[in-house]
A and B are shown apart, each in its own frame.
Chain A
Amino acid sequence: MAFEIREEGQFTVVLVDETRLDASIAESFKTYLFDQIESGKNQLLVDLSQVRFMDSSGLGALVAGLKKSAGSGSFALASAQPAVKDLFDLTSMDKLFTMHNSVADAIQGD
């Protein structure tokens, strides 16, 4: 399965188990995130450690998840790889998301 969840510390960690978070899976990823939020998971941490490429559709799915959780929980990212970080920087979306170097850092509050 492309997406998996696990509980770690205070977070529900959503692992994107794909090397490409692109338009071909963005809609199903958004639906998966929405399902988690609607089922009451309100501290989501998206683990991007496996993702080597993301396009604007993948980014849009993350923005949709952030919007959905706004006001009722937290939504953060962990382990963004260089090409993914570059996309966030290019689009100024790094201003919007809380990004952690790793899941462990997020749990420790770094």
Chain B
Amino acid sequence: MPVCDHQLSLQIDSQLSNTTLVAMAVRGVCAMTTLSPVEINRLELCLVEIVNNAIEHAYGNEPGHPVEVCIGLDKTTMNISVSDWGASIPGNVIKDQEPEEINPDHPESWLCSGRGLHIVNKLMDTVDYDTTEEGKNIFTMSKALRH
């Protein structure tokens, strides 16, 4: 994560009900920026999607594991990282894959899941994912701020 003027680190237990805590924290930091209400809602959505992924997929919905969120803020950019120590996301999943075109006439094509990463790829300026030798999975994303 880049060095930022302001940095906030949080850790939650791997339970879906805890995503609200980090969502409110990112909203608080966003209030210090020039981001519009729509952009703040979208940043919250992206953070929640990635934290959900860590809890549901890295830890298989098992409580008792750490999910770490770091929010970095400088004059031009907001950087957010979400880390876990569970199962890594396969490389072919992390790549941006456009969902298939929705056909209103074919209910079998209406997907009930799998939109989270696509939403994040679409809304954030940069997205990256890495696993350290120690087994820490770090999802980083950034959003440019208006001057």
Instruction: Mark contacts of A13-41 with chain B using CB atoms, 8 A cut-off: 1 yes-contact digit, 0 otherwise.
Output: 00000001011100000000000000000
A9 interface hit (Cβ, 8 Å) = no
**Could you tell me how many residues of chain A have their Cβ less than 8 Å away from some Cβ of chain B?**
27
Beyond A55-B45, A66-B110, A96-B110, is A23–B115 a contact (Cβ under 8 Å)?
Answer: no
B113-A53 in contact (CB<8A): no
Task: Check B44–A96 contact: CB distance below 8 A.
Answer: no
Residue of chain A at shortest CB distance from B108: A67
Do residues B107 and A24 form an inter-chain contact, with CB atoms below 8 A?
no
Specify the chain A residue showing the minimal Cβ separation from B17.
Answer: A24
Chain B residue contacts of A67, Cβ below 8 A? 107, 110, 112
Question: B112–A91 contact, CB under 8 A?
Answer: no
Q: Quick check: B19 and A23 within 8 Å, CB to CB?
A: yes
Is B119 interfacial (CB 8 A cutoff)? yes
Q: Which of B66-84 contact A (CB under 8 A)?
A: none
Residues of A contacting B: mostly: helix
**Which of B19, B37, B45, B112 lies in contact with A87, CB distance below 8 A?**
B45
Question: Quick one: closest A residue to B20, CB to CB?
Answer: A20
Query: Measured between alpha carbons, how far is A53 from B47 in the docked complex, in Å?
Result: 13
- CB pair A22 B16 closer than 8 Å: yes
Q: Given the complex of chains A and B, what is the CA–CA distance between A86 and B48 in angstroms?
A: 15
The reply to whether A95 and B102 form a contact with Cβ atoms under 8 Å apart is yes
Contact assessment for B102 and A92 in the assembled complex, using a CB-CB cutoff below 8 Å:
yes
Chain A's closest residue to B120 (CB) is A56
The answer to whether B19 and A53 have CB atoms under 8 Å apart is: no
The 10 closest A-B pairs by CB, nearest first: A24-B16, A56-B115, A83-B41, A60-B112, A70-B107, A24-B17, A23-B52, A56-B116, A64-B112, A23-B16
List residues of chain A with CB under 8 Å of any chain B CB. Answer: 20, 22-24, 53, 55-57, 59-61, 63-64, 66-67, 70-71, 82-83, 86-87, 90-93, 95-96
